[in-house]
Amino acid sequence: MSRTPRSGWGYRDAGFNTNRNSGNMDRIDGYQIFAELKNGPVTTVFKAFDTRRNQVVLIKLLQAEAAIKEHWRAQFMQESRISAQLNHPNLRRTLHTGTLADQPYIVLEYVEGPTLAELIKQHKKLPIDLCIYIAKELARAIAAVHRSKVLHRDIKPQNIFLSMSGAVKLGDLGSAHELADVSPLTIGTPAYMSPEYILGQEVGESSDLFSLGAVLYEILTGEVAFVNRTLASTLLHVVNWDPVPISKLRPETPAELVITCQKLLAKKSAERYGNAKVVLDDLSFLGRSYGLSTNQRDLAQFLESPETYEGIDLKAVAQRDAARIAGSRLQRIPTLSWGVAAILSASMFLAGVLFIKGLKEYFYGPLVKPPSGSVTAPLPRAFTSANWGYLDLHVGSEGEVLIDGETIGDGPMRALLTLPVGPHEIDINDPFEGVKRKNITINSGDTLRLRIDLNEP
């Protein structure tokens, strides 16, 4: 017997329109249409009952107006083909595909439960043990997609479905494409897109892993990793800056998990994990090191009754283990040999160098080098690398620094920024000297070096 969601969730029938006419959809043999969930400009999604399988399903239909347009039809047929070839417990299943009056449709598994986006909205930060479990399940899903030589390209909380039995399923392959396909890409969701995706560079498996990192960051902190008031500023945020440190938003997060998330969100694809299987291995090792056994039943319990869910205090576990290890080492190593002392001295020197480097980056801002790589899978014109240039900005005085009205930090700072080609306004807002504005123009592929110091005559 399936679980019944507790009252107050608001997701079970939210957005369903049972009054609208489903048109020709009620003529599909074997399916009883009883609700319209979404009516968009390209597709309509219906909730239906599969009389042959005796289960509730979703039917995604390409709108008649879109079906006659080659681009939309080709994209929908690609989604249909790709989703039909994927079969994994962590992927929402495609049950059937067909055509009705020249309108193609896809019959999808219906997952009774919230999306991850709805869960975050309801609870903000999720229990850390559940964050690790969800990330592991997503890594399994992504690994399955990549084994089929497919990129998902739109991994985000809205496309992650949680069943009331605790299953985690990745869905919506509308933006997916095969790795060998070099046709123009379709824009996903900006806040979850990788830097190379935005810049129109070569896109591979690590691009999906960047999106996984953005999702992991969000379920840990309750905040979107890269978001701003406008589309342009969000894209600049993804390309140029790191999100607010997890340790500041959630100090109890284990350092190993923070490092995993940081590696997933590395600006350079080569600095991320090699594949989703390695991510899964790291997360599994982390769980074992903390004695976690969180599984599907635990997520089901949280969905059923979040107020009674008892998460594991990982910080307390870490402190206990650290104290135990430190104590055992003190007992075993009363003195240090000269060799060990020399190694420690060298290590301390290296740590000092890294500490000084960290201070420089803290006060002057990290230097983000311009991305490199050939363009093999071009984005639409607005997002190709030909439409970007670089600004080497050095602000020597104090004050808020803004580019095109968006705050990028406080001076003094040094940063190498990726900006769209064209004119830009740079403002330095000093509380005593006032605002100094500099108008610049970014050219394709060029680096403009600019120093601004209000203290200089």
- Length in residues, the chain: 457
Q: Are 134 and 212 in contact (CB under 8 A)?
A: no
Catalytic residue at 453? no
The neighbouring-strand residues paired with 22 are none
Tokens of 170: 């990745």
DSSP 235-257: HHHHHH-PPPPHHHH-TTS-HHH
Cα R_g (the chain), whole angstroms: 25
State the Cα–Cα distance between residues 367 and 79, nearest whole angstrom: 39
Place of tokens 């992650």: 160
Q: Catalytic one among 154, 172, 208, 282?
A: 154
Label residue 107 exposed, middle or buried (CB < 10 Å: 0-12, 13-18, 19+). Answer: buried
314, amino acid identity: L
Tokens of 410: 């406080």
Sign of CA dihedral 117, 82, 143, 50: positive
Q: By three-state DSSP, how is residue 302 classified?
A: helix
DSSP 109-120: E---S-BHHHHH
Place of tokens 């019944």: 4
DSSP letter for 156, please. S
Q: Angle 116-123/205-221 helices, nearest 10 degrees?
A: 30
Q: Are 135 and 143 in contact (CB under 8 A)?
A: no
Tokens of 134: 């969800």
Closest of 124, 131, 128, 83 to residue 106, by C-alpha: 83
| Catalytic (active-site) positions | 154
